[in-house]
Amino acid sequence: MKRTLSVFVAAFIAGGLLAQAIDLPAPQKTGGLPLMDALAKRSTARTFDSKELSPQQLSSLLWAAFGINRPDGKRTAPSAMNFQETDIYVLLKQGAYVYSAKSNKLDLVVAEDIRALGGTQAFVKDAPVTLVFVADLSKMGGGTNEAKKNMANIDVGYISQNVYLFCASEGLVTGARMLVDRATLGPRLKLRPDQMIILAQSAGYPKP
Protein backbone atom coordinates (compact mmCIF):
# COMPACT_ATOMS: atom_id res chain seq x y z
CA MET A 1 0.00 0.00 0.00
CA LYS A 2 2.81 2.43 0.90
CA ARG A 3 4.54 1.72 -2.42
CA THR A 4 1.28 2.30 -4.38
CA LEU A 5 0.66 5.56 -2.58
CA SER A 6 4.23 6.73 -3.24
CA VAL A 7 3.89 6.01 -6.95
CA PHE A 8 0.60 7.90 -7.08
CA VAL A 9 2.06 10.92 -5.27
CA ALA A 10 5.08 10.91 -7.58
CA ALA A 11 2.80 10.92 -10.61
CA PHE A 12 0.89 13.90 -9.21
CA ILE A 13 4.05 15.87 -8.45
CA ALA A 14 5.81 15.13 -11.72
CA GLY A 15 2.69 15.60 -13.80
CA GLY A 16 3.29 12.15 -15.23
CA LEU A 17 0.89 9.33 -16.00
CA LEU A 18 0.73 5.69 -15.07
CA ALA A 19 0.27 3.51 -18.12
CA GLN A 20 -3.35 2.46 -17.79
CA ALA A 21 -4.68 2.84 -14.27
CA ILE A 22 -4.00 4.45 -10.91
CA ASP A 23 -4.56 2.26 -7.88
CA LEU A 24 -6.15 4.38 -5.18
CA PRO A 25 -5.39 3.98 -1.48
CA ALA A 26 -8.21 2.50 0.56
CA PRO A 27 -10.85 5.15 1.28
CA GLN A 28 -11.16 6.48 4.81
CA LYS A 29 -14.63 5.39 5.95
CA THR A 30 -14.64 6.79 9.47
CA GLY A 31 -14.32 10.23 11.03
CA GLY A 32 -15.36 13.54 9.56
CA LEU A 33 -17.98 15.97 10.83
CA PRO A 34 -21.29 14.83 12.30
CA LEU A 35 -24.02 14.89 9.65
CA MET A 36 -25.83 17.95 10.98
CA ASP A 37 -22.57 19.93 11.09
CA ALA A 38 -21.78 18.92 7.49
CA LEU A 39 -25.26 20.00 6.40
CA ALA A 40 -24.76 23.34 8.10
CA LYS A 41 -21.53 23.88 6.13
CA ARG A 42 -22.80 22.63 2.76
CA SER A 43 -22.46 25.28 0.06
CA THR A 44 -21.61 25.83 -3.61
CA ALA A 45 -18.27 27.32 -4.62
CA ARG A 46 -17.34 29.03 -7.88
CA THR A 47 -13.68 29.67 -7.08
CA PHE A 48 -11.00 27.08 -6.33
CA ASP A 49 -7.38 27.06 -5.26
CA SER A 50 -5.11 25.16 -7.67
CA LYS A 51 -3.65 23.00 -4.86
CA GLU A 52 -3.98 19.29 -5.67
CA LEU A 53 -5.98 16.91 -3.52
CA SER A 54 -3.99 14.11 -1.94
CA PRO A 55 -4.49 10.55 -3.22
CA GLN A 56 -6.23 9.75 0.07
CA GLN A 57 -8.63 12.65 -0.30
CA LEU A 58 -9.42 11.69 -3.88
CA SER A 59 -10.04 8.06 -2.94
CA SER A 60 -12.32 9.01 -0.05
CA LEU A 61 -14.15 11.58 -2.18
CA LEU A 62 -14.94 9.03 -4.88
CA TRP A 63 -15.97 6.40 -2.35
CA ALA A 64 -18.28 8.88 -0.63
CA ALA A 65 -19.74 9.83 -4.00
CA PHE A 66 -20.60 6.36 -5.28
CA GLY A 67 -18.35 3.74 -3.76
CA ILE A 68 -19.23 0.25 -2.58
CA ASN A 69 -20.30 0.24 1.08
CA ARG A 70 -21.72 -3.28 1.50
CA PRO A 71 -20.52 -6.82 0.74
CA ASP A 72 -23.30 -7.29 -1.83
CA GLY A 73 -21.82 -4.53 -4.01
CA LYS A 74 -24.42 -1.88 -3.26
CA ARG A 75 -23.30 1.71 -3.14
CA THR A 76 -23.15 4.85 -1.01
CA ALA A 77 -25.90 6.43 -3.17
CA PRO A 78 -29.14 4.77 -4.31
CA SER A 79 -30.02 4.07 -7.92
CA ALA A 80 -33.28 3.05 -9.56
CA MET A 81 -33.69 -0.72 -9.32
CA ASN A 82 -30.00 -0.83 -8.32
CA PHE A 83 -29.00 -0.31 -11.95
CA GLN A 84 -25.84 1.54 -10.82
CA GLU A 85 -25.83 3.22 -14.21
CA THR A 86 -23.72 6.22 -13.25
CA ASP A 87 -20.02 6.27 -14.13
CA ILE A 88 -17.80 8.95 -12.62
CA TYR A 89 -15.20 10.40 -14.97
CA VAL A 90 -12.43 12.23 -13.15
CA LEU A 91 -10.68 15.15 -14.85
CA LEU A 92 -7.24 15.85 -13.39
CA LYS A 93 -4.22 17.81 -14.55
CA GLN A 94 -2.58 14.51 -15.55
CA GLY A 95 -5.49 13.32 -17.67
CA ALA A 96 -9.05 12.04 -17.64
CA TYR A 97 -9.97 8.80 -15.91
CA VAL A 98 -13.02 6.75 -15.07
CA TYR A 99 -13.53 5.55 -11.50
CA SER A 100 -13.85 1.82 -10.90
CA ALA A 101 -15.61 1.35 -7.58
CA LYS A 102 -15.13 -2.42 -7.63
CA SER A 103 -11.33 -2.29 -7.91
CA ASN A 104 -10.91 1.17 -6.32
CA LYS A 105 -8.81 2.55 -9.15
CA LEU A 106 -8.83 5.14 -11.90
CA ASP A 107 -8.72 3.80 -15.44
CA LEU A 108 -7.06 6.12 -17.93
CA VAL A 109 -9.30 7.51 -20.68
CA VAL A 110 -7.16 10.25 -22.19
CA ALA A 111 -3.63 11.32 -21.24
CA GLU A 112 -4.29 15.05 -21.50
CA ASP A 113 -5.49 17.87 -19.28
CA ILE A 114 -9.07 18.49 -20.42
CA ARG A 115 -10.37 20.03 -17.20
CA ALA A 116 -11.40 23.17 -19.07
CA LEU A 117 -14.00 21.09 -20.94
CA GLY A 118 -15.73 20.22 -17.66
CA GLY A 119 -17.83 23.38 -17.82
CA THR A 120 -18.37 26.61 -19.68
CA GLN A 121 -17.33 28.96 -16.86
CA ALA A 122 -13.79 30.34 -16.57
CA PHE A 123 -13.21 28.98 -13.05
CA VAL A 124 -13.51 25.36 -14.17
CA LYS A 125 -9.93 25.13 -15.40
CA ASP A 126 -8.60 26.13 -11.95
CA ALA A 127 -10.24 23.35 -9.95
CA PRO A 128 -7.83 20.45 -9.35
CA VAL A 129 -10.61 17.86 -9.74
CA THR A 130 -13.76 17.84 -11.84
CA LEU A 131 -16.13 14.91 -11.65
CA VAL A 132 -18.31 14.24 -14.69
CA PHE A 133 -21.34 12.06 -13.96
CA VAL A 134 -22.24 9.94 -16.97
CA ALA A 135 -25.35 7.76 -17.19
CA ASP A 136 -24.97 4.54 -19.15
CA LEU A 137 -28.51 3.99 -20.43
CA SER A 138 -27.61 0.49 -21.63
CA LYS A 139 -27.48 -0.62 -17.97
CA MET A 140 -31.05 0.48 -17.29
CA GLY A 141 -33.09 -2.37 -18.75
CA GLY A 142 -36.23 -1.74 -20.80
CA GLY A 143 -38.37 1.36 -20.96
CA THR A 144 -38.17 4.53 -22.96
CA ASN A 145 -35.05 6.68 -23.12
CA GLU A 146 -37.04 9.53 -21.57
CA ALA A 147 -37.88 7.39 -18.52
CA LYS A 148 -34.26 6.25 -18.23
CA LYS A 149 -32.98 9.83 -18.42
CA ASN A 150 -35.42 10.94 -15.72
CA MET A 151 -34.22 8.17 -13.40
CA ALA A 152 -30.58 8.92 -14.22
CA ASN A 153 -31.02 12.60 -13.37
CA ILE A 154 -32.42 11.71 -9.96
CA ASP A 155 -29.68 9.16 -9.26
CA VAL A 156 -26.92 11.65 -10.08
CA GLY A 157 -28.54 14.10 -7.67
CA TYR A 158 -27.94 11.65 -4.83
CA ILE A 159 -24.29 11.22 -5.83
CA SER A 160 -23.73 14.95 -6.16
CA GLN A 161 -25.13 15.56 -2.68
CA ASN A 162 -22.73 12.95 -1.29
CA VAL A 163 -19.88 14.96 -2.81
CA TYR A 164 -21.23 18.16 -1.26
CA LEU A 165 -21.41 16.60 2.20
CA PHE A 166 -17.97 15.02 1.94
CA CYS A 167 -16.40 18.32 0.92
CA ALA A 168 -18.18 20.16 3.73
CA SER A 169 -16.89 17.59 6.20
CA GLU A 170 -13.31 17.72 4.90
CA GLY A 171 -12.87 21.49 4.61
CA LEU A 172 -13.00 21.36 0.82
CA VAL A 173 -15.27 23.27 -1.54
CA THR A 174 -17.35 22.02 -4.44
CA GLY A 175 -19.82 23.19 -7.05
CA ALA A 176 -22.09 21.28 -9.42
CA ARG A 177 -23.27 22.61 -12.78
CA MET A 178 -25.36 21.67 -15.78
CA LEU A 179 -23.42 24.04 -18.06
CA VAL A 180 -21.16 21.59 -19.91
CA ASP A 181 -20.32 21.50 -23.62
CA ARG A 182 -21.51 17.91 -24.00
CA ALA A 183 -20.92 17.85 -27.75
CA THR A 184 -17.21 18.53 -27.19
CA LEU A 185 -16.56 16.69 -23.93
CA GLY A 186 -18.41 13.47 -24.84
CA PRO A 187 -16.08 12.50 -27.72
CA ARG A 188 -12.99 13.39 -25.68
CA LEU A 189 -14.18 10.95 -23.00
CA LYS A 190 -14.88 8.37 -25.73
CA LEU A 191 -18.53 8.07 -24.74
CA ARG A 192 -20.92 5.90 -26.71
CA PRO A 193 -24.27 7.24 -27.99
CA ASP A 194 -26.07 5.53 -25.08
CA GLN A 195 -23.88 7.28 -22.50
CA MET A 196 -25.17 10.67 -21.41
CA ILE A 197 -23.38 13.42 -19.48
CA ILE A 198 -25.75 14.46 -16.69
CA LEU A 199 -23.75 16.85 -14.52
CA ALA A 200 -20.23 18.07 -13.75
CA GLN A 201 -18.94 18.94 -10.30
CA SER A 202 -15.60 20.45 -9.33
CA ALA A 203 -13.89 19.96 -5.97
CA GLY A 204 -10.82 21.41 -4.33
CA TYR A 205 -9.51 23.73 -1.66
CA PRO A 206 -11.09 27.15 -1.09
CA LYS A 207 -9.27 30.00 -2.78
CA PRO A 208 -7.50 32.25 -0.24
- Cβ burial of 179 (10 Å; 0-12, 13-18, 19+) is exposed
Mean pLDDT of the chain, nearest integer: 92
pLDDT at 20: 82
Nearest CA among 163, 83, 87 for reference residue 127: 163
User: What average pLDDT does the segment 177-186 reach?
Assistant: 97
> How do residues 96-133 score in pLDDT, each as one tens digit?
999 999 999 999 999 999 999 999 999 999 999 999 99
Residues in the chain: 208
CA distance 2 to 7: 9
Assign domain 2-204 to a CATH class. Answer: alpha beta
